Amino acid sequence: MYAIVKTGGKQYRVTVGYTVAVEKLEGELESSIVLNDVLLVSDENGTKVGAPTVEGAKVTATIVHHGKGKKINGFTYKPKKNEHRRYGHRQSLTKIKITSIEA
């Protein structure tokens, strides 16, 4: 059984037991969260596709870790103007472990 959920503007394919790094979510470590934006659920009975979400479906997960992603270095400049700038960015991430999928 797997599901496609939407969180943080991105879509993730998840199954029970998977650990996924998503955009930062509020909550304490080891607390349970519910993802209600379920776009697709597939199990032994078939596949349910939502329009835009599947009615009554939810994915329950546990927060495992709060942290930051890989650093992205950027550089911008304007030619012939002696104008340039370096910048860096590290996105805040939350690792969650999927505990159950309810269709």
Q: Which two tokens stand for residue 46?
A: 């078939």
pLDDT of residue 49: 93
- Band (pLDDT 50/70/90 cuts) for residue 38 is very high
Helix (H) or strand (E) holding 32: strand 32-35
- Band (pLDDT 50/70/90 cuts) for residue 82 is very high
- Band (pLDDT 50/70/90 cuts) for residue 7 is very high
- Band (pLDDT 50/70/90 cuts) for residue 89 is very high
Cα-only R_g, the chain: 18
pLDDT of residue 103: 83
Maximum Cα–Cα distance for the chain, whole Å? 64
